[in-house]
Structure 1
Amino acid sequence: MGSLAAVFVWWMLPLEPFFEEISGIFLAGVAGIYFSGRFSGYLGVRDPDVIVVDEFVGQFISLLWTEHDIIHGLTAFLFFRFLDIFKPGPIRWAERLPGGVGIMADDILAGCLAGVLTLELYRMMPA
């Protein structure tokens, strides 16, 4: 499962400057669009289960703005998994885009929304 691997990597990595994290995720996302599109075309399957870079990138996006602790990481993970499984609204639409863009876009959108939900949840909680 790519999302669980992303949480593990996020937890193990030292805190990096935000620009470096964004740059790494951007490059992984671009590579994911290209290679997942090619690989799914080769297999003849729209979104093969063996491709997990989409989940990794989406999950890592949800963790970018959170506190670097296990509670925030677990919360972002749960929000991301919920959104990735049920695909509400625009996440479902993004999944229907062609090729590698569709493979990656739904998880990128789910990651962005999971990150916002995590931030808002902890912002609303009393200190």
Structure 2
Amino acid sequence: MEKQEVQQQENTQNQTPQEQAPDDFKTMVAFMLSTGLFVGKIPIAPGTIGTLVGIFPILIYWTRGGEYQLWNQIFITLAVFLIGIWASTVVVETFKDKDPEYVVIDEIAGYMVSMIGFYPSWQHLLIAFILFRIFDILKPPPIKMFEKLPSGLGVMADDIIAGIYTWIIMFILVKFFGI
């Protein structure tokens, strides 16, 4: 039995992440969550498309909760962040890829951060989307250094910081320019 496991492990290490298939339930769930229900496997602009997936939880949860609406937004975003750390860690350690582009739960969580406290109008969603993608792609300091954190935390942290940068700009635009 051990020899078969060693052989399977050697075969997995020689494959690219795209060729590898999750072989246990935990890995399959982590892969499904980390790829945004497999949206990250779309070969063109997975990060951008993954960010678009973030619109759905925002549209579903952002106006719920009455007087606890802001807390609702914070806790939903925190849940996605924590699930993202777990799922990303499983995927990174299983497929031996430090920050795979098909993992998009980090973009979903970062975009959600950028919208905390803002009404999900099409203008706010669009402005936050554009700003978030700019910060996520360019990674101005200190965003880049957060990628160096270990495993799933490193995958998630840089996008959370990009979301915070976006949130700051959104706050200025909404508070001072009435957008």
The answer, yes or no, to whether TM exceeds 0.5 is yes
Residue 54 of structure 2 is matched in structure 1 by: 6
Cα distance in structure 2, aligned partners of 1:26 and 1:14: 14
Shift of 1:124: 2.8
Unaligned runs of 5+ in 1: none
Cα distance in structure 1, aligned partners of 2:62 and 2:171: 21
Residue 65 of structure 1 is matched in structure 2 by: 117
Shift of 1:65: 2.1
More helix by share: 1
Larger of the two Rg values belongs to structure? 2
Structure 1, 68-77 or 4-13: larger mean CA deviation: 4-13
1:70/1:98 Cα in 2 relative to 1: closer, same or farther (>3 Å)?
same
1:98/1:71 Cα in 2 relative to 1: closer, same or farther (>3 Å)?
same
Shift of 1:68: 2.3
1:90/1:13 Cα in 2 relative to 1: closer, same or farther (>3 Å)?
same
Matching of residue 117 in structure 1 with residue 169 in structure 2: yes
TM-score, reference length from structure 1: 0.91
Maintained 8 Å contact 1:63/1:73: yes
Cα distance in structure 2, aligned partners of 1:126 and 1:105: 30
Deviations 1:19-71 (A, max 9, x none): 12211111211111122012111111011122111100000110112232111
Q: Give me the identity figure in percent.
A: 31
Kindly report the root-mean-square deviation, in angstroms, between the aligned alpha carbons of the 2 structures: 1.7
Cα distance in structure 1, aligned partners of 2:55 and 2:62: 13
Residue 87 of structure 1 is matched in structure 2 by: 139
Secondary structure of the structure 2 residue equivalent to 1:25: helix
1:122/1:18 Cα in 2 relative to 1: closer, same or farther (>3 Å)?
closer
Maintained 8 Å contact 1:66/1:73: no
The amino acid across from 2:135 in the alignment is L
**Number of aligned positions between the proteins:** 127
Shift of 1:8: 3.8
Residue 24 of structure 1 is matched in structure 2 by: 76
- 4+ residue runs over 4 A deviation: none
Residue 15 of structure 1 is matched in structure 2 by: 63
TM-score, reference length from structure 2: 0.66
1:126/1:45 Cα in 2 relative to 1: closer, same or farther (>3 Å)?
closer
**Bigger RCO (CA 8 Å, 6+ sep):** 1
Structure 1, 20-29 or 4-13: larger mean CA deviation: 4-13
Of residues 128, 148, 158, the one that matches 1:96 is: 148
Secondary structure of the structure 1 residue equivalent to 2:54: helix
Secondary structure of the structure 2 residue equivalent to 1:65: coil
Shift of 1:14: 5.7
